[in-house]
Amino acid sequence: MKGWRYSAAASFSILFLWQLIIWGAEPPRYILPAPSAVFLSFIDNLGLIYEHALVTLTEVFLGLLIGISFGCVTALYLETSRTARLFVRPLLVFSQALPVFALAPVLTLWLGYGMTSKVVMAILIIYFPVTSAFHDGLSQTPQRFLDLAQVMKATRLRLLFLIKVPAATPSLFSGIRLAAVYAPIGATIGEWVGSSQGLGYLMLLANGRVKTDLMFAALLTLGAISMTLYGATGYALKQLSKRYKVD
């Protein structure tokens, strides 16, 4: 609860600073609308924002589910195969060297303007953090655990799933927290490049029609979704850690 209070205090501070800028600089409304104008636009367009937010949320959840699953499987494969570490890991690093905006048009061209290209974009963004964090945890298992497993003549599978995976769980949780932050970014970028639904599309549509207050309302909705998703993920992982005594 303390974290939520700090987040609320930070949000109110930003809104207050925003209002001070409006009072002091008096920028045109199409450049920077007042917080009250954004709030009224949010209320007036609540149904529209909800409709597009639901699409973005669906893309984010699918991207998280698939991306985390693929990341865990890949990390396990990297840990068990020296060949994979030699050939697959460089490909993962190369995939992160490519700018995200450069991949988005290609994915839209290949997969179309529907939800699939946005989900794949979210997967690509969160796949590497989850894989990297989990694999780092697997490869840094305390040596005393490995020595004990060797003394007890544990098989490779038992060593992996009963020793290494539990020891790497905190690293995996860190990767999942990062994924919860990155997933909305991937989905929104995909919507910017080519889409007819989603908060990213709504922001572009509002910007093209000079409805800056609606654009800010969609942007703040996306920010609220990201913060809520991060907080909920962190809380769930914390409760899971307590239940299974993950240190």
Three-class SS state of 180: helix
**Biggest CA pair distance of the chain:** 73
Quote the CA–CA distance of 188 and 83 in Å, as a whole number: 35
What is the model's pLDDT at position 64?
95
Residues of the chain with pLDDT under 70: 1-4, 244-247
Quote the CA–CA distance of 9 and 4 in Å, as a whole number: 9
Are the C-beta atoms of 57 and 225 separated by less than 8 Å?
yes
- Residues with Cβ within 8 Å of 66's Cβ and at least 6 positions away in sequence, in order, are 119, 123
Give domain limits for the chain: 1-32, 34-244
Torsion from C-alpha of 173, 176, 177, 179, nearest 10 degrees? 160
> What secondary structure letter does DSSP report for 155?
-
235 Cα distance to chain centroid:
15
What is the model's pLDDT at position 246?
56
Show the tokens assigned to 238: 């914390």
Quote the CA–CA distance of 140 and 157 in Å, as a whole number: 17
- Residues with Cβ within 8 Å of 51's Cβ and at least 6 positions away in sequence, in order, are 197
What is the model's pLDDT at position 193?
86
Show the tokens assigned to 233: 């993920």
What is the model's pLDDT at position 247?
55
What is the phi/psi pair of residue 139, to 5°? Answer: -80, -10
- 80-118 per-position pLDDT tens digit: 988 888 888 888 888 777 777 788 888 888 888 889 999
Quote the CA–CA distance of 24 and 145 in Å, as a whole number: 62
Architecture of domain 34-244: Orthogonal Bundle (1.10)
- Residues with Cβ within 8 Å of 54's Cβ and at least 6 positions away in sequence, in order, are none
What is the model's pLDDT at position 2?
58
Are the C-beta atoms of 81 and 135 separated by less than 8 Å?
no
Show the tokens assigned to 134: 């989990």
- 198-231 per-position pLDDT tens digit: 999 999 999 989 999 999 999 999 999 998 998 8
